[in-house]
């Protein structure tokens, strides 16, 4: 056993204990507050609704924990217990071409991960979501989505993986820099390709037909200096009763998308306020900042991968016999992608902290450009509809939530709203 094996095992244990501890806190906190609606929501949310949200939250936390335990077991099986090594030996017996063998190693790991996730997705959609009345999906739709996802990841993922493997072999010691540039280019293309060609494979997008609402939204967009190219409604109700709105894409592909489930639940004032919040993200350039941060971080990760892939101990510590003769590249990629998240989870609260600060900024912007009270009404409606808990454990929330807890968020908006004429 090497030092890195020990470190990996230690972090795996830390990751598991941290998640387990946070889950216990969350369940305890939510159950403790289950019998009374918090005072600031008391006149808008019924006790029944509040208890449904508590039960939904607890059920999701428990399911997430079980999934995590299975994932950790698979991770140990693939690495320390020699799973990856066995797959690689198996492929070696059948395939002479080194490049194809490596590509198949990547594909096999992808398939294994998908197969392990599948029962959980099925359970989540058809048991958990269904139990709380959120599932609108049929089994045929679920499997047609799955088939599309497999085809898409093969068409997009395999060429990308092949290109990275080729760079690792041919581009010299700075291959990781080229691979990073390729990664950046791929992601930029996807930002445009996703709304235009990929999302429409899964959902129908139609122009927003309600002219009064469209007019209001255009006014708001002009007021906020947002160049609006398209205003779409997406048939989210085909899959789920959860509602949402987002804007996406760059340049010509820039569009605002409403889930039909959101439009059907909010009035025009509330929809305008929600959109003003989204435009707040645009105004403060949050999405651009997030992209820049993610590209910078990924440069660090590629550099780290470049170095690790040449270290014998990296393979040996993780249950793989190192073969530094040029045929270990796929193994380096797989090990890196499997192992790195174990080391990064304890830092998840840093990214989420940034994200919650962005949410406050977007809320403040919405209060200034639209109306704080309308946004509060919309949020309360959405928390209620989505059975989002109003009483999360503060530490659990700090680690997992990209959005601030409901009570904190609304208290801030009330302050902003108080300054406005009603």
- Quote the least distance from Cβ 382 to Zn ion, whole Å: 12
Q: Establish whether 403 is an annotated binding residue.
A: no
Catalytic site residue from 272, 278, 358, 384: 278
Yes or no: say if 416 and 372 are a contact pair by the CB < 8 Å rule.
yes
Q: How far is CA 296 from CA 44, 290, 292, in A?
A: 44, 10, 6
Q: Which residues contact 386 (CB under 8 A, 6 or more apart)?
A: 242, 243
CA-nearest of 65, 81, 99 to 8 is 81
Residue closer to Zn ion by CB (options 153, 361) is 361
Q: Which stretch binds Zn ion (CB under 5 A): 196-204, 232-240, 291-299, 354-362?
A: 354-362
Which one of the spans 100-108, 229-237, 327-335, 351-359 is the region binding Zn ion (CB under 5 A)? 351-359
- Our CB check for Zn ion shows the closer of 278 and 393 to be 278
Q: CB-wise, 333 or 362, nearer to Zn ion?
A: 362
- Judged by beta carbon, residue 277 or residue 329, the one nearer Zn ion is 277
Q: Would you say 2 or 402 has its CB closer to Zn ion? A: 402
Nearest-approach distance from CB 354 to Zn ion, in angstroms: 13
Q: What is the distance between the alpha carbons of residues 333 and 243, in angstroms, rounded to a whole number?
A: 37
Total interface residues for Zn ion by CB under 5 A:
2
CA 83, 4, 116, 239 dihedral sign is: negative
Taking CB under 5 A as the binding criterion, the range among 81-89, 256-264, 311-319, 353-361 that sits at the site for Zn ion is 353-361
What backbone torsions phi and psi does residue 339 show, to the nearest 5 degrees? -90, -35
| 278 a catalytic residue | yes
CB of 299 to Zn ion, least distance (A): 27
331 and 315 Cβ atoms separated by less than 8 Å: yes
CB of 236 or CB of 280, closer to Zn ion: 280
Question: 283 a known binding residue?
Answer: no
In the shown chain, the binding pattern of residues 305 to 344 toward Zn ion, with x for contact by CB under 5 A and - for none, equals ----------------------------------------
CB of 149 to Zn ion, least distance (A): 26
Q: Which stretch binds Zn ion (CB under 5 A): 90-98, 117-125, 147-155, 352-360?
A: 352-360
Is 281 one of the annotated binding-site residues? yes
Separation CA 79–CA 85 (nearest Å): 8
Residue closer to Zn ion by CB (options 256, 333) is: 256
Q: How many other CB atoms sit within 10 Å of the CB of residue 260? A: 17
The CB-of-59 to Zn ion minimum distance in angstroms stands at: 25
Which part of the chain contacts Zn ion (CB under 5 A), choosing from 209-217, 336-344, 359-367, 392-400?
359-367
The DSSP result for 129-148, as a single string, is IHHTT-B---HHHHHHHHHH
> Which stretches within 229-347 are classed as H helix?
260-263, 268-283, 286-308, 312-316, 329-344
Here the contacts of 168-174 (C-beta below 8 Å, separation 24 or greater) are 168/309, 168/329, 168/332, 169/99, 169/326, 169/329, 173/306, 174/306
Contact letters (x/-) for Zn ion, 362-391, by CB under 5 A? x-----------------------------
In angstroms, what is the minimal distance from the CB of 216 to Zn ion? 20
Active site (annotated) includes residue 209:
no
Catalytic site residue from 363, 373, 384, 393 = 363
Tell me how far apart the alpha carbons of residues 50 and 282 are, in angstroms, rounded to a whole number: 33
CA distance 100 to 94: 11
Longest dimension (CA), the chain: 76
**Two tokens, residue 395:** 């530490």
Which residues of the shown chain bind Zn ion in the complex (CB under 5 A)? 359, 362
Catalytic amino acids?
278, 363
Binding residues for Zn(2+): 277, 281, 359
């Amino acid at each position: 056993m090497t030092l890195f094996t020990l470190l990996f095992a230690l972090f795996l244990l830390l990751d598991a204990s941290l998640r387990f501890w946070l889950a216990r806190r969350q369940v305890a906190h939510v159950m403790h507050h289950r019998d009374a609606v918090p005072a600031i929501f008391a006149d808008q949310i019924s006790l029944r609704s509040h208890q449904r949200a508590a039960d939904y939250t607890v059920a999701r936390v428990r399911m997430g924990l079980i999934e995590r335990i299975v994932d950790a077991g698979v991770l140990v099986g693939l690495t320390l217990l020699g799973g990856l090594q066995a797959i690689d030996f198996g492929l070696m017996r059948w395939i002479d071409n080194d490049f194809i063998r490596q590509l198949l190693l990547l594909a096999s790991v992808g398939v294994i991960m998908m197969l392990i996730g599948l029962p959980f997705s099925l359970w989540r959609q058809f048991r958990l979501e269904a139990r709380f009345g959120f599932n609108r999906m049929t089994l045929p739709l679920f499997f047609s989505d799955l088939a599309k996802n497999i085809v898409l990841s093969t068409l997009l993922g395999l060429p990308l993986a092949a290109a990275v493997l080729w760079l690792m072999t041919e581009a010299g010691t700075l291959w990781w820099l080229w691979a990073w540039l390729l990664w950046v280019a791929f992601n930029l293309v996807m930002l445009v390709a996703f709304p235009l060609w990929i999302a429409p494979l899964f959902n129908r997008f139609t122009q927003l037909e309600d002219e009064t609402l469209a007019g209001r939204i255009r006014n708001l967009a002009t007021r906020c200096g947002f160049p609006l190219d398209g205003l779409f409604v997406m048939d989210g109700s085909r899959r789920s009763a959860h509602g949402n709105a987002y804007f996406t894409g760059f340049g010509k592909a820039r569009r605002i998308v409403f889930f039909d489930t959101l439009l059907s639940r909010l009035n025009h004032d509330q929809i305008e306020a929600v959109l003003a919040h989204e435009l707040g993200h645009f105004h403060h350039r949050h999405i651009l900042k997030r992209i820049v941060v993610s590209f910078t971080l990924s440069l660090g990760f590629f550099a780290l991968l470049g170095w690790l892939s040449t270290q014998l101990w990296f393979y040996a510590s993780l249950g793989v016999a190192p073969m530094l003769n040029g045929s270990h590249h796929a193994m380096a990629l797989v090990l890196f992608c499997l192992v790195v998240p174990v080391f990064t989870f304890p830092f998840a609260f840093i990214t989420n902290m940034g994200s919650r600060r962005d949410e406050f900024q977007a809320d403040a912007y919405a209060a200034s450009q639209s109306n704080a009270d309308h946004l509060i009404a919309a949020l309360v409606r959405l928390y209620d509809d989505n059975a989002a808990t109003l009483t999360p454990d503060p530490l659990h929330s700090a680690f997992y939530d990209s959005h601030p807890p409901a009570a904190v968020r609304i208290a801030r908006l009330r302050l902003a709203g108080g300054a406005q004429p009603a």
